[in-house]
Amino acid sequence: TIPASSGNKAGSVTLEEEQRVRSELRERFLRTLLAMTSKPVHFSLYEKVQVQAKFGASDIDILNFQVSDLQTPLGVQKEALLRCQDMISFSFQL
């Protein structure tokens, strides 16, 4: 997790501006996750592993994703948690 601003050396106006930008960017990201709910998502993991699953939810720090019907080379896992540290990217269609 990336820490919030380390201080307001440059004054409260700058800090306020930083907070405003931060909240705008975050809102857009949360809307992305919301749009992804219940959709099939394709995950690219390290070592060229590709898996697909239905996205359920994420924790606030984007550390874990809860997914359903995870399709792995060893079969389908009904429910699973994916560690975001293991992912390089993921994609879905709108």
Partner 1 sequence: MGDWCRVMPQDWNKYVNHEVRVSAQDKQQYEGWVFTVDPVSASVVLVAFQESGGASVRVVLGHAVREVQVLREADGDTEKKLRSLLTPAGCQVFSD
Q: Which residues bind partner 1 (CB under 8 A)?
A: 1-2, 17-18, 21-22, 24-26, 28-29, 31-32, 35-36, 44, 46, 48, 60-62, 84-85, 87-94
Nearer Cβ to partner 1 (11/75):
11
Nearer Cβ to partner 1 (76/85):
85
Nearer Cβ to partner 1 (18/68):
18
Q: How near is the Cβ of 23 to partner 1 at its closest, in Å?
A: 8
- Whole-angstrom Cα distance, residue 57 to residue 30? 11
Nearer Cβ to partner 1 (61/75):
61
Q: Where are the alpha helices (DSSP H) in 10-71?
A: 12-36
Q: How near is the Cβ of 78 to partner 1 at its closest, in Å?
A: 24
- Whole-angstrom Cα distance, residue 45 to residue 37? 20
**Sheet bearing 40-45, strands edge to edge:** 40-45, 50-58, 64-72, 75-83
- Whole-angstrom Cα distance, residue 16 to residue 5? 11
